[in-house]
């Protein structure tokens, strides 16, 4: 491969050699001009460029006009794009021509012309814009990202109609050549963060990047931490909010999710409709989410610690009820909780892998049947069923699925510590978690911002963490944005507090 030749036969021979054995790639010889005296050929993937001769297609319109031209005008029309076709590009090398064809475009080779012409097409088949499934909201857009990088970047630009929104594309994967887009606001995003991201994307070579999760795990700062260092979202409005805050979105082709960076624990507990609803309701719901996270991690351990080490912490009536409920159970409290927790984990995984309606039925009916049968058989006590159910509800209240999964792992660590040391084990476990989170960074930003270091950006995150201030008080961007551009809202006549 290398630079293209002006001789069409050499180019055709090279192309046919490269696509040998690829029955889905078509090489179609043609002749252009009124007298059909100019040889050419078109190479394309059959399913990506179908019905190319239709009048309403870009390729069909271009070729039909070239067929009607005088032969001496064809070369000038191709070289100078006199036809005004918008999505065309000259490709001087065979590598570029093959890359454009494999990206789903048609590539035209013309005799006596030493460049190939990329002609934009509809591209590979894929799902269109759908409704958000995993990040459901009561108010706001119902659109979700698709599996096309071009469509996803367009969905963000639909919401941020400004030329300072930059989209930089780069292919990743030695064989997959997956197009990846980095989306950010020029003047808001910190350049060191962009440089760091670019350095990380260039730091690995892999056969294929088939989903954004591959990028997430190959570029994480601390790969052994269960907590996500990117925020994933399937919602274009959430990604648009992030870039307006000075954050960066990474969009991978074939992946219906965007990666947002930097990520903090505070951002991972927020949802897009937090900014569409009344601040008092939002503050109440955020408190519930953090309470749910605490229950998801601590409740089974607290139960085991209370039964094994600290029965004096329980009211007398509750203690008698608990002793009566556990009278026929042959297992210690730790084994009892582990049996039911692992059963619910199996139900969760089975419900996730089964088809939609069947999966929902397995999750609900299976949980009821197993819980009731286990209590009737005296394998577990009724209190443990309540504890495990509340733990599951707490994990479901966490809006980010990856954080919820991390908390599920931490739960078992807490359970072991509480079984060994009682309440002291719970305290020690939380100290370990907080120390880990305090040392965790996402592209240089502390994971515990603004709970640690919130005074660095007064009026920013301090008014938008567990409690959310009214919208007119959130006139400063978070720490993610450049210092000189952190004001995002201005009020005519000035702010009552002087803009502090």
421 vs 138, residue with greater confidence = 421
Whether the per-residue pLDDT at 443 is higher than 70: the answer is yes
> Residue 54 pLDDT more than 50?
no
Q: Does the pLDDT at position 304 exceed 50?
A: yes
User: Does the pLDDT value for residue 289 go beyond 90?
Assistant: yes
User: Is the per-residue pLDDT at 231 higher than 90?
Assistant: yes
pLDDT score of 215 more than 80: yes
From CA 450, how far away is CA 267, in angstroms rounded?
Answer: 10
pLDDT band at 52 (very low <50, low <70, confident <90, very high): low
Neighbours of 235 (CB within 10 A): 25
- Is residue 388 within 8 A of residue 344, CB to CB? The reply is yes
Least confident of 54-68, 91-105, 339-353: 54-68
Confidence at 385, pLDDT banded by 50, 70, 90: confident
User: Cis omega before residue 450 (within 30°)?
Assistant: yes
pLDDT digits (tens, 9 = 90+) for 175-193: 888 889 999 999 899 999 9
Cis (ω within 30 of 0) for the bond into 182?
no
Q: Are 453 and 465 in contact (CB under 8 A)?
A: no
Alpha carbons 10 and 61: distance in angstroms, whole number: 27
* Cβ–Cβ under 8 Å, residues 481 and 489: no
* Percent share of the chain, pLDDT over 70: 85
- Across 225-229, 300-304, 349-353, least confident range: 349-353
pLDDT band at 55 (very low <50, low <70, confident <90, very high): very low
pTM recorded for the entire structure = 0.82
- The pLDDT score that the predictor gives to residue 457 is 67
| Cis ω before 262 (30° cut-off from 0) | yes
Range 123-151 average pLDDT: 79
Q: What is the pLDDT of residue 403?
A: 93
Q: What is the pLDDT of residue 189?
A: 92
Q: Is pLDDT above 60 for 471?
A: yes
pLDDT at 82: 46
Q: Closest Cα partner for 242 from 289, 203, 188?
A: 188
Judged against a pLDDT cut of 60, whether residue 402 lies above it is answered with: yes
Whether the per-residue pLDDT at 277 is higher than 70: the answer is: yes
The rounded mean pLDDT for the chain is 83
Residues 5-16 pLDDT 10s? 888 888 999 999
Enumerate the domain spans of the chain. Answer: 8-119, 130-275, 279-445
Residue ranges in 43-148 assigned as alpha helix (H): 58-68, 71-80, 94-102
Reported as a pLDDT band with limits 50, 70 and 90, residue 286 is very high
Find out whether 130 and 155 touch, Cβ atoms under 8 Å: no
340 has a pLDDT exceeding 60: yes
Q: What is the phi/psi pair of residue 294, to 5°?
A: -65, -45
Contact 139, 273 (CB under 8 A): yes
Mean pLDDT is lowest, of 65-74, 130-139, 312-321, 484-493, for 65-74
CA distance 278 to 57: 48
> Quick one: average pLDDT of 319-336?
79
pLDDT of 478 reads 85
Q: Which DSSP symbol is given to 401?
A: H
pLDDT (tens digit per residue) in 99-117: 888 888 888 898 888 888 8
Average pLDDT over residues 314-334: 78
Q: Is the pLDDT of residue 245 over 80?
A: yes
pLDDT at 131 over 50: yes
What pLDDT does 185 receive? 92
pLDDT at 86: 52
116, 107 in Cβ contact below 8 A?
yes
Which pLDDT belongs to residue 280?
93
If you average pLDDT over each of 52-61, 86-95, 302-311, 373-382, which comes out highest? 302-311
């Amino acid at each position: 491969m290398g630079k293209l030749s002006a001789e069409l036969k050499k180019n055709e021979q090279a192309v046919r050699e490269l696509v040998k054995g690829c029955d889905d790639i078509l090489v179609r010889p043609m002749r252009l001009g009124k007298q059909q005296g100019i040889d050419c050929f078109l190479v394309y993937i059959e399913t990506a460029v179908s019905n190319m001769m239709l009048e309403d297609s870009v390729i069909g319109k271009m070729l039909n006009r070239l067929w009607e031209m005088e032969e001496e005008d064809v070369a000038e029309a191709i070289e100078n794009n006199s036809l005004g076709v918008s999505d065309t590009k000259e490709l001087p090398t065979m590598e570029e021509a093959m890359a454009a064809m494999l990206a789903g475009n048609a590539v035209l080779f013309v005799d006596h012309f030493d460049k190939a012409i990329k002609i934009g097409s509809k591209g590979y088949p894929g799902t269109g814009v759908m409704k958000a499934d995993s990040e459901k909201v009561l108010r706001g857009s119902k659109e979700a990202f698709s599996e096309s990088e071009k469509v996803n970047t367009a969905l963000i630009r639909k919401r941020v109609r400004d030329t300072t929104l930059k989209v930089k594309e780069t292919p990743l994967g030695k064989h997959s050549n997956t197009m990846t887009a980095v989306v950010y606001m020029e003047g808001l995003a910190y350049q060191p963060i962009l440089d760091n991201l670019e350095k990380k994307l260039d730091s690995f070579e892999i056969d294929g990047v088939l989903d954004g999760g591959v990028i997430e795990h190959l570029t994480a700062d601390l790969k052994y931490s269960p907590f996500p260092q990117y925020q994933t979202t399937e919602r274009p409005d959430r990604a648009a909010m992030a870039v307006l805050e000075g954050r960066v979105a990474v969009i991978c082709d074939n992946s219906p999710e965007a990666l947002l960076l930097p990520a903090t624990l505070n951002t991972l507990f927020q949802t897009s409709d937090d900014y569409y609803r009344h601040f008092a309701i939002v503050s109440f719901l955020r408190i519930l989410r953090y309470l749910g996270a605490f229950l998801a991690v601590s409740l089974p351990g607290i139960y085991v610690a209370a039964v094994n080490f600290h029965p004096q912490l329980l009211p007398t009536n509750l203690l008698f009820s608990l002793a009566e409920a556990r009278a026929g159970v042959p297992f210690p409290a730790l084994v009892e909780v582990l049996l039911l927790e692992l059963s619910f984990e199996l139900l969760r995984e089975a419900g996730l892998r089964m088809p939609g309606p069947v999966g929902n039925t397995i999750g609900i009916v299976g949980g009821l049947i197993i819980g009731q049968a286990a209590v009737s058989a005296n394998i577990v006590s009724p209190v443990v069923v309540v504890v495990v159910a509340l733990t599951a509800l707490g994990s479901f209240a966490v809006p980010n699925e990856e954080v919820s999964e991390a908390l599920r792992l931490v739960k078992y660590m807490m359970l072991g510590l509480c079984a060994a040391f009682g309440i002291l084990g719970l305290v020690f476990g939380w100290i370990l978690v907080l120390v880990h989170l305090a040392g965790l960074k996402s592209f240089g930003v502390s994971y515990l911002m603004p709970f640690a270091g919130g005074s660095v950006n007064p009026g920013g995150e301090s008014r938008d963490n567990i409690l959310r201030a009214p919208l007119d008080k959130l006139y400063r961007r978070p720490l993610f944005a450049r210092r000189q551009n952190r004001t995002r809202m201005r009020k005519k006549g000035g702010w009552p507090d002087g803009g502090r």
